[in-house]
Every structure is written in C-alpha cells, then in structure tokens.
Amino acid sequence: MTDEFGRKVASRLQQAAHELPYDISERLRAARVQAVAHRKVAQPRPARTVLGMGGAAALTFGEDGLNLWGRIASALPIIVLAGGLILIHTAQSERRASELAEVDVQLLTDDLPPQAYTDPGFAQFLRTGGQ
C-alpha cells in the first residue's frame, strides 16, 4: 500500500516537473544527485523466523543474535529455576534433619533402652498394639 502511494506521488511530481523553469529543475536535479550520493545504504536485517522441527519450534533472532538485555532476560528463568531448586533442597534437608533429631530425642528420652528396638520380639509387640 505504501509502495502504491509512493508511486502516485512520484508520478505527480514527475508531471509537475515539466512545468518548472529550467534553473529550478536543474537545482532539483543537482539536489537529487547529492541526496542519492549521500544516502545511507540500508543493511538488510534478518527477519525473526520460527522454524518448525517436527513437534518443536525454535525462534531465531537472525545473525546478530540477542543484545545484552535479551541475553540476560533469556538466562533469568534458568537462574530463577536453579535458585528455586536449591531453596527446595535446603528446606527438605533441614526438615529431614529435624525429623531425625526428633526421633533421636524420642529414643534417648524413652524408658526402653535402644537395644530393645532391635529385638525381633519387640517388633511383634508393636504389631499387636502393645498387649
């Protein structure tokens, strides 16, 4: 749509250029030549594409890759995940240690000696409900 608009404007300007005096059209031609000489050459930037690979897809960012903030943003979920896993492991280790300490306290403060717990008859005693 913008190409069509540009063509229409160019054709109107071309038609009006024939009606201009020679000195003005010559100055416009010189300005046009200078503008073309000084224009920046647009570097084609690779488009972001999605590549299908069977049941998976990958988002590519072209040749230039990600900038610094993009790399930080892409690494942030992995860092948060690793931190969460470390936190869960620490919490579970402390809970397990407190459970073992509670069992040790119960064993040491009980009336029975610790050797009674290794007796096969004691396991049968516990199964029958202490009758």
pLDDT digits (tens, 9 = 90+) for 56-98: 655 655 555 567 887 888 889 999 999 999 999 999 999 999 9
Residue 59, pLDDT score: 60
Strands 56-60 and 49-53: antiparallel
Q: What is the pLDDT of residue 90?
A: 97
CA gap 125, 112 in Å, rounded: 13
Over the chain, what is the mean pLDDT? Answer: 79
Take residue 18 and report the two structure tokens written for it. Answer: 């024939």
What is the model's pLDDT at position 36? 79
**CB 60 within 8 Å of CB 51:** yes
- Give CA separation, 16 vs 7, 20, 23, 26, 127, in Å: 14, 7, 15, 14, 108
In which residue are the tokens 């100055």 written? 27
pLDDT tens digits for range 91-129: 999 999 999 999 888 877 877 777 777 888 877 777 776
Which residues sit opposite 57 in a β-bridge? 52
Asked whether the CA dihedral 77, 83, 88, 89 is positive or negative, the reply is: positive
**Could you tell me the two tokens for 112?**
């029975």
60: nearest Cα among 68, 51, 52: 51
Could you give the percent of the chain with pLDDT greater than 90? 20
What mean pLDDT is predicted for residues 2-15? 81
pTM, to two decimals: 0.38
Local structure of 129: helix, strand or coil = coil
CB atoms within 10 A of CB 25: 13
